[in-house]
Amino acid sequence: MSRTLPVVLLLDMDDTILDNTGAQDDAWHQACVSGAEVHPGLDVEALYSEVMRVREIVWSDPEWHREWRMKVREAWGQIAREALAALGIDAPRLGQLIGDRHFELRDAAIVPLPGAIEALHRLRELDVRLGLITNGASAGQRAKIERFALAAHFDYIGIEEEVGFGKPHADAYRAALASLEATPEETWMVGDKLDWDVAGAQAVGIFGIWLDKAGVGLPKDSTTQPDRIVRSISELVPEQYATHLH
């Protein structure tokens, strides 16, 4: 693409604008400690290990992911119950208590990624039309949008439950393009998920940018080739306009 900036930039929210997972492991560990406080004899480290194992298995299942991302608080409880069951403990209420504690700790730790909010300000000043496309339930995603005053930056906000389609479904992108009166050729999409944010966008002709927050590079088995890779959305602001971005 020859333009320095697109006419329209579509952005993912979680782990693209907001750090949604940076505290998740610590939140799980603290939640397991809370569980041990009400269930004497519970092995915190063994439970934490099982939670990590179950979490990876269930969230990597596309069908499980599609169902449970619409009710994440309940999902954390389900993961904790399965982890407890793997240790021979049948305690559904304890599982939900642990899941709720994880939810609360993780939610409290969410913060904007460095330079992200400043980058949104600068892109708006440069007359880029911004759209937000995020999967999940309306209540949870709207709460984060309100908490960090994100709505003011965007000309379009598409939340899976409200739009009826989640990424990588083509209609999630087409709804944004229609609302913003944009063509795929004049649009970029940036996000941290190769399958949802990059491959999904590329499938409808949008320039797909992968946000590699950790700087680890493409997985060796990746079938998706991003059109560009960045560590932060602040990298999308041209250098001559990027002063004071951190």
Query: What is the per-residue pLDDT for 246?
Result: 47
Span 123-131, average pLDDT: 96
Indicate the Cα dihedral angle 115, 116, 122, 126, nearest 10°: 140
Query: What is the per-residue pLDDT for 3?
Result: 59
Question: Which pLDDT band, with edges at 50, 70 and 90, does 7 fall under?
Answer: very high
CA torsion sign, 24 to 26 to 30 to 36?
Answer: positive
Query: Can you tell me which residue has the tokens 């993780």?
Result: 106
What's the pLDDT tens digit per position in 100-117? 999 999 999 999 999 999
Query: What is the per-residue pLDDT for 239?
Result: 78
What is the chain's mean pLDDT, rounded?
94
Q: How far is CA 118 from CA 98, 205, 215, in A?
A: 36, 28, 21
What's the pLDDT tens digit per position in 161-192? 999 999 999 999 999 999 999 999 999 999 99
